[in-house]
Chain A
Amino acid sequence: MATVSKKRTHRIAGARLKKSSHFAKKVASRAGRFLKKSGHSIKPLGIQLNREESLVVAEALVHPPAPNQVLINAFHAYKQAVAA
């Protein structure tokens, strides 16, 4: 991922950052569009997990737990509600 300095981001947008937050958002939006067009991305897409969180997900994917009773009961209630 390319890092772009604040100064350069604003130069890309063709405007200086002003006090107005509305204007700041407009500048950021224009800079974002430029970066997107040029093949860069401002932030990584998707959900980024650290090592501990990744382990929890991997464990659940390898050994998926059976649905708990609350989930089973809720699904029965749902089936009745949509079939009624």
Chain B
Amino acid sequence: MTAYLFERYAAHHERADFDCGVEILNRYLRERARQDDDRDAARLWIMVETPLSSKIAGYYTLCTTSVNLDGLPPDFQKRIPRYPSVPAFLIGRLARDLSFKGTGKLLLMDAIQRCVRQSNEIAGALIAVDAKDEGAVQFYTRFGFRPLSERRLFLPMATARSLIVS
């Protein structure tokens, strides 16, 4: 089996060659991802085959967000934190290069594992994802993500945690 490494974005990673087949995600990596990372808007994680490899096999971004709940009945309000918003982790973008088929799930698992690890220090009740199209919605749904709003899905942190510790 091919081994993969996950590392923070660095200058030697070749963004121009990356092609996941979705122009908006290619362009994001080429033009905005580094700026978002520099400005602490989203953390950019890169998947490579070998250490110090410049070829990007895939990438994802992570940041925190909050989910504002509205109109919950009293019995729910008793059982979840009494705040209008629930803290969450957000996988904003996730894409793999066309030449690395079958690695999307590895990117997703690394992102989930990282969220679970961070949740020991920074509370997050769920992991949200932004799906760019219907294909992406189906991809996340297969792994048990549930619809949050139109193109957003979520996985409860407790579910992710039980996966990692099992």
Report A's interface with B, CB cutoff 8 A: 44-51, 53-62, 64-68, 70-72, 74-75, 77-78, 80-84
Contacts and interface: CB of A to CB of B under 8 A. Distances in A.
Interface string B144-158: 101111001010111
A61 B126 contact: yes
Interface residues of B, number: 49
23 contacts: A44-B68, A47-B68, A47-B149, A49-B69, A49-B70, A49-B148, A53-B149, A54-B69, A55-B76, A57-B69, A64-B158, A65-B156, A67-B166, A68-B144, A71-B143, A71-B163, A72-B166, A74-B109, A78-B105, A78-B106, A81-B2, A82-B110, A84-B2
Contacts of B65: 46-47
B137 interface: no
Given A61-B156, A61-B158, A78-B109, 4 more contacts: A47-B149, A64-B156, A67-B162, A77-B106
Contacts of B149: 47, 49, 53
Contact of B144 (A45, A48, A67, A82): A67
A52 B25 CA distance: 31
Contact of A62 (B76, B105, B110, B154): B76
A60 B109 contact: no
Contact of A55 (B1, B72, B105, B166): B72
Contacts of A57: 67, 69, 86, 126, 148, 154
A65 B68 contact: no
A52 to B, nearest CB: 9
Interface in B96-146: 105-106, 108-110, 112-113, 125-126, 128, 142-144, 146
Given A62-B80, A67-B162, A75-B163, A54 B1 contact: no
B67 A49 contact: yes
A72 to B, nearest CB: 7
A73 B154 CA distance: 19
Contacts of A80: 1
Nearest to B71: A51
A-B pairs, top 4 by smallest CB distance, nearest first, are A46-B66, A78-B109, A64-B158, A51-B71
Nearest to A44: B68
